[in-house]
Amino acid sequence: MATLRNPVGEKRTRGLGRLWPTTTSLGNHKELEGNKGGRKMVESKPTTVLAAFEILLEEMETEIEFINQAGSKAFAARNYEGARAVLDRADHATAVRDKLAAVRAEWEKVSPAATSNGASAKNNGSHDLSRLQRGVRTRETAYFKPILQVLKQMGGVGEMSEVLERLPKLMKGTLTDIDYEPLAANTELPRWWNTAQWAHNAMAQAGLLKPDSPRGVWEMTEAGHKLIAEFAS
């Protein structure tokens, strides 16, 4: 194809029934000292984890794109057996990638919110987040609303290429310079173009877009129409 905020100061820890005041900054972790017995605990800031998820997802997507390209070359060379084997591998890799995306969603349920689009992870000390910046792109969930908005403008269905052409205008202020960097697997395309297509897959799995539309066509479901109506209200 071609992809929460820790309070500062005192924090009440669920289940412990007491306040744990922040004492020492540990970069992307905070050392919390109990008010009884001098016990300490460390609370991890989730931005590092979310950034790590993003870079791993993108690396997997890049590998999937390389696999797809190899399959296309085999098909063009009429090596149909080889092409089938390569595409089966791509399907398997995609399934693994989707499992990781599901794990990320589960992680977010147990960690505080970081940012609206998941793209902010700042160097805060002991963990050097600069090494993660290449993978800190705008999250695919940030594409859901604008994709539905574009499709609504097009009557609920449209060619993928036209939908993608309209997206940047609606996502101005959301997409970052990182999103406009070229893809490793295809330097003629920006990263957001690939992320938007993974967003389409996620929306189809969520029931917002039809999974059985003709190739290259994106179409809203009844649930998609209902959601965009809620956004407008």
The predicted model gives 2-8 an average pLDDT of 36
The predicted model gives 71-84 an average pLDDT of 88
Following CA atoms 89, 64, 212, 171 in sequence, which dihedral angle do they give, to the nearest 10 degrees? 170
Q: How far apart are CA 138 and CA 178, in angstroms?
A: 8
User: What's the pLDDT score for residue 47?
Assistant: 63
Amino acid at 64: I
Predicted confidence band at 29 (pLDDT cuts at 50, 70, 90)?
A: very low
Regarding whether 130 and 73 lie in a shared domain, the answer is yes
Q: How far apart are CA 51 and CA 211, in angstroms?
A: 29
Has residue 1 got a pLDDT over 80? no
Regarding whether 165 and 126 lie in a shared domain, the answer is no
User: What's the pLDDT score for residue 42?
Assistant: 40
- Tokens encoding 180: 């406009």
Has residue 4 got a pLDDT over 60? no
The predicted model gives 158-169 an average pLDDT of 96
Domain end: 135, 152, 182, which one? 135
The predicted model gives 18-25 an average pLDDT of 32
Regarding whether 93 and 36 lie in a shared domain, the answer is no
- The parent domain of residue 69 ranges over 47-135
Has residue 63 got a pLDDT over 70? yes
User: What's the pLDDT score for residue 113?
Assistant: 54
pLDDT digits (tens, 9 = 90+) for 96-155: 989 988 898 888 888 765 444 544 444 444 444 444 444 578 988 899 999 999 999 999
User: What's the pLDDT score for residue 164?
Assistant: 96
What is the DSSP secondary-structure string of 71-130? HHHHHHTT-HHHHHHHHHHHHHHHHHHHHHHHHHHHHHHHS----SSS------SSS-GG
* Domain tally, the chain: 3
User: What's the pLDDT score for residue 14?
Assistant: 36
Task: Give the ranges where the chain is alpha helix by DSSP (H).
Answer: 47-76, 80-110, 144-153, 160-170, 191-205, 222-232
Has residue 94 got a pLDDT over 70? yes
Q: How far apart are CA 73 and CA 81, in angstroms?
A: 12
The predicted model gives 41-58 an average pLDDT of 69
Asked whether residue 26 is domain-assigned, the answer is: yes
Q: State the DSSP code for 12.
A: E
pTM across the whole model: 0.60
Asked whether residue 215 is domain-assigned, the answer is: yes
Has residue 57 got a pLDDT over 70? yes
User: What's the pLDDT score for residue 115?
Assistant: 46
Q: How far apart are CA 171 and CA 144, in angstroms?
A: 11
Regarding whether 152 and 228 lie in a shared domain, the answer is yes
Number of neighbours of residue 4 by Cβ within 10 angstroms: 16
Q: Provide the 3-class DSSP secondary structure of residue 23.
A: strand
Domain end: 86, 101, 135, which one? 135
User: What's the pLDDT score for residue 184?
Assistant: 81
pLDDT digits (tens, 9 = 90+) for 30-44: 444 444 444 444 444
pLDDT digits (tens, 9 = 90+) for 175-220: 999 899 998 888 888 999 999 999 999 999 999 999 999 999 999 9
